[in-house]
Structure 1
Amino acid sequence: MSENKQSRDVFVAIADPTRRQLMQLLAQAEEVPLHELTARFSMGRTAVSKHLNILKEAGLVVDRKVGRETRFRLNASPLREVENWLAFYSKFWSINMMCLDQLLEEEEE
């Protein structure tokens, strides 16, 4: 990564369905070579590599060279930020649903 490139936001990285699918594939295996990932998509190696680089910049993917081959694995720990964000809204909806239930019960009485 060049010096003037900032690390990507996790939310931006997971916003694309192709990148979410790549993450799902990587979650099912310890390491996956680039050519195996590319075979799963109807796009070229360059396009898959660009998606993987975005995931890598967000810290969601780690790669390593084995000879001439690049292998990728998932690093799910940055997803904790997403989980924490969702937890707030989960609590928000739970509280609102309880209030709605109470209101409906009071109206029935």
Structure 2
Amino acid sequence: MPEAVSLNDVMRALADPTRRSVYERIASAEEMSVADLTRGSGVSQSAVSQHLKSLKQAGLVVERPEGRNVYYRAQPDGLAPLADWMAGYGVFWRERFDALRALMKEIDP
């Protein structure tokens, strides 16, 4: 069974702007090869491979080897730890805005 990925793993992986760009390119396509990701990125193939390794370890992408190529696609549940963390803050801010709205009605009915 794969080891659970933590929020820190996901945030650490996406903190790097180049890695985030690689992830965004993969997420916007069905799947991409390392060569596809290297083309036009301004980053070497070995650097792209290192970024992909970090994204894979964080559970954000999965790979599919085919012959000499490896294709990457976004892992559908990869952002779940981040989405779950943010959902808690959504409740926090909704409550604050509701309280502010009520206060504004008291001040200016």
Could you tell me the TM-score, scaled by structure 2's length? Answer: 0.84
Alignment-derived partner of residue 17 in structure 2:
17
Alignment-derived partner of residue 99 in structure 2:
99
Structure 1 residue 17: deviation in Å? 2.2
* Matches for 1:53-64 after TM superposition, within 5 Å: 53-64=53-64
Structure 1 residue 53: deviation in Å? 0.5
Structure 1 residue 66: deviation in Å? 1.4
Q: Which runs of 5+ in 2 are unaligned?
A: none
Q: C-alpha separation between the residues in 2 aligned to 1:33 and 1:81? A: 26
* Residue pair 2:61, 2:78 contacting (<8 A) in 1 also: no
Stretches (4+) displaced over 4 A: none
Single out whichever of 70-79 and 21-30 deviates more from structure 2. Answer: 21-30
* Residue pair 2:32, 2:73 contacting (<8 A) in 1 also: yes
Alignment-derived partner of residue 4 in structure 1:
none
2:55 counterpart SS class: helix
Q: C-alpha separation between the residues in 2 aligned to 1:24 and 1:76? A: 13
Single out whichever of 27-36 and 89-98 deviates more from structure 2. Answer: 27-36
For 1:11, give the aligned amino acid.
M
Single out whichever of 49-58 and 24-33 deviates more from structure 2. Answer: 24-33
Whether 2:46 is the aligned partner of 1:50: answer no
1:30 counterpart SS class: coil
Whether 2:46 is the aligned partner of 1:77: answer no
Q: CA RMSD in A?
A: 1.6
Q: Which runs of 5+ in 1 are unaligned?
A: 1-6
1:71 counterpart SS class: strand
Q: C-alpha separation between the residues in 2 aligned to 1:90 and 1:84? A: 10
Q: How many residues align?
A: 103
* Matches for 1:4-43 after TM superposition, within 5 Å: 9-43=9-43
